[in-house]
Amino acid sequence: MFQKKHNLGLLLEKLGKEERVVLEILKSVEGKLPASGLFKDIPVDVCGLTVHVRGMVVNGIPRLATIFIK
């Protein structure tokens, strides 16, 4: 998820660790995801940056596949 092409460098600088980035994204997607199944390009605000999120909800648990900033 944290490949250079995903443009997450500034977000990593602001939050310090990859784990913290993921936690903040999970907080930001709350209420924006389907109850189950795939989701694609859900835009969320994290520290003033728009992050696009892709993944799947399985048994009510969101699983992030890709996160990126355009």
pLDDT for position 55:
97
**Bridge partners, residue 55, by sequence:** 39, 64
Tell me the pLDDT tens digit for each residue of 29-61.
Answer: 999 999 999 999 999 999 999 999 999 999 999
pLDDT band at 1 (very low <50, low <70, confident <90, very high): confident
Q: List Cβ neighbours of 20 (8 Å cut-off, separation of 6 or more).
A: none
Tell me the pLDDT tens digit for each residue of 6-19.
Answer: 999 999 999 999 99
| Type of residue found at 59 | N
Predicted TM-score (pTM) of the model is 0.90
Q: Where are the domains of the chain?
A: 4-68
Q: Between β-strands 37-46 and 61-68, what pairing exists: parallel, antiparallel or unpaired?
A: unpaired
